[in-house]
Structure 1
């Protein structure tokens, strides 16, 4: 239930603000916690978005911070140490160091918080996984679309597993979904409608998409099929995708309606935290992601090594299915055992090839 509600939150965020990278999953547990200590309309809004707790299956930084001098209930006081001083020169390094220590990986600085902030929500996430089958570096040269004429730094891979690519029929139209399997129970799902629908609609649809079942190789956006000369008749899947990296710092109060924080930004709504009037005065998230040759990284992109494959003499014809992401596309980082979408984002401006 919690995973489904967290994924619904991801879809809602995507539909209104499809950023380069964001994580509703790491915000959801904070909202569920606040729902247990809020009162009145704030509690109703928070429970509507996050009615049940969720334990993240990966390391993340999640915190509700209060300012020194704010009266707290005994229960809440036991959870809140250290507390914010109100001095940004002290609090900002404190929060950034906390985020790095909790995630165990480099993340961008958290959004700024002011000296008068009484209740601060802070979250950060960095996910790392190696690909089960690595990519090699290449160059994409889109012939049409928004990237036409550009030389895009890309990653290429080929193999026999045609089941990695699927097509889902969604409210945004047909959406091609490519699953790139990683280690540590993490997969990355790339999604595209080939420019036929807005980014938010495609990304939101991909979160809950149910691919069309078929024993035949799928047909959909950015997929081509054909017979080619080969050493054996086994079908082949070729993947060409831009290398990408994204870092982002989000002001979550800008998404207050989506996250159920509208009334929480009012006064006197958290009796479970303290007796005085208290409201959420700041809410921020930092998140980083990079799709590289060896794997999915929460760090800058490093080029993948080039591998020269021997060319065997052609003795047969094989079916080649090519998935080519040569126009803006989305990405979902998914925890394989639970289906929880850990991160999501939209790639609109690819890296130029050197």
Structure 2
């Protein structure tokens, strides 16, 4: 089973949905949760979730556990899954047995959910992205936290950008010099050329900066960047210039090529309503409150997905990178009135338009994807 490929396909589909503004999201954080739901789902809900995860629904729980184990095995990553149910909700033992050991608890209140999110992301996501009310009978959540220290740190520098749409904002800049031209690569994609710049960290983690032409859409850059990570790439230095990269020749007392990388540090936070992209997440039928969709979870209470949210964060700083995502679904009794969803305002600290993809080096698994659209000032 190509877990990294299946998860990356979901991430790319999600990326293609993004049209404007800064955002951060984790397909890797959502995928195991959807996989466990897929095996437990019935009818149209099962088919849609199976399409979203890209593996047979009958193997969903097995794949979900394997995905969590893969992420937990990465030194730079923490991953966990939790399930909470109301005391009065009868849950099938067979389904509980498919979950990781110790994942199931009693749904007691918002504070316990928030404490779990805070603990399993090291404080990066302090609140579970679910509005707990009396109609919620079950909450299923995943937490993902990524932390890495750069092999070569950045330095803070003075001055300002001399060109580009963000030059007037004079954002704070960080820079570094390395001897690794192969870390700067060009990828010719359906939407045009991209530059992929690898910033290596510890714990088997790389962060790739993905830069396209200024007029390319965020979704196009993100989706093509994810695809390019597993495709052939041509080193840019010594061959041809690519977006965001210029190449010059100069005399030097040293025999090594040099790579200079300059960008503003950033922090981006976002909250996503996954029911707003049902085609991508496979939650269209499962969120229909007119009847139940998960008889494998409870034989006596018809359940539908009333809420599905992800809160995510990414920070790129002088010494390293950290990111986290908590993804959660809340199930309620079918035939209930669907609760209104909270509208969230997204604020982010931004840079010259580019994407960042946090990638597990050995498998190519994209853990988080980020799009930056405005300078931090």
What is the TM-score with the length of structure 2 in the denominator?
0.79
Q: Is the CA contact (8 Å cut-off) linking 1:162 and 1:217 kept in structure 2?
A: no
- Determine helix, strand or coil for the equivalent of 2:303: coil
1:227 aligns with 2:249: yes
Change (3 A) 1:10 1:171: same
Where 2:24 maps in the other structure, the secondary structure is coil
Partner of 2:294: 270
Within 5 Å, give how 1:82-231 maps onto structure 2. 82-85=105-108, 91-115=109-133, 116-139=135-158, 141-209=160-228, 210-213=231-234, 216-231=238-253
Match of 1:15 in 2: 16
Q: Which residue among 318, 330, 335 is the counterpart of 2:355?
A: 330
Report the CA distance shift for 1:217/1:100 in structure 2 as closer, same or farther (over 3 A).
farther
> Structure 1 residues 140 and 174, CA, compared in 2 at 3 Å: closer, same or farther?
farther
Q: Cα distance, 1:229 vs. partner?
A: 3.6
What is the deviation of 1:233? 3.7
Q: Which has the higher helix share?
A: 2
Give the Cα–Cα distance (whole angstroms) in 2 for the partners of residues 108 and 328 of structure 1.
Answer: 28
Instruction: Name the counterpart of 1:26.
Output: 29
Higher mean C-alpha deviation, range 4-13 or range 211-220: 211-220
* Gaps in structure 2 of 5+ consecutive residues: 72-76, 325-349
Mapped partners of 2:17, 2:86: distance in 1: 31
- RMSD (Å), alpha carbons: 2.2
CA contact (8 A) 2:11 2:27 kept: yes
Higher mean alpha-carbon deviation, 52-61 vs 263-272, is at 52-61
Out of 245, 248, 252, the residue aligned to residue 267 of structure 2 is 245
How many pairs does the alignment contain?
Answer: 322
User: Equivalent residue for 2:49?
Assistant: 46
Q: 1:285/1:231 Cα in 2 relative to 1: closer, same or farther (>3 Å)?
A: same
| CA gap 1:273/1:292 in 2 versus in 1, 3 angstroms | same
Unaligned runs of 5+ in 1: 86-90, 300-324
Cα-to-partner distance string for 1:201-227 (whole Å, 9 max, x where unaligned): 101110011343358344201111112
Deviates more, 1:70-79 or 1:168-177: 70-79
Q: Does 1:285 align with 2:303?
A: no
Whether the 8 Å CA contact 1:166–1:211 is kept in 2: the answer is no
Deviations 1:52-102 (A, max 9, x none): 5123423124334433322221234566632324xxxxx222111112222
SS at the partner of 2:27?
coil
Larger Rg belongs to: 1
- Measured in 2, the distance between the counterparts of 1:32 and 1:340 equals 16
Change (3 A) 1:140 1:336: farther
Q: 203-212 or 173-182: which moved more?
A: 203-212
Deviations 1:156-185 (A, max 9, x none): 011211000001011221011000000000
Which residue number in structure 2 is paired with residue 303 of structure 1? none
Q: How much does 1:139 deviate?
A: 4.5
Distance in 2 (CA, whole Å) between partners of 1:140 and 1:253 is 44
- Residue 149 of structure 1: CA displacement? 1.3
CA contact (8 A) 1:122 1:285 kept: no
38, 49, 62: which one pairs with 1:35?
A: 38
The verdict on how the C-alpha distance between 1:162 and 1:48 changes in structure 2, with shifts beyond 3 A counting, is same
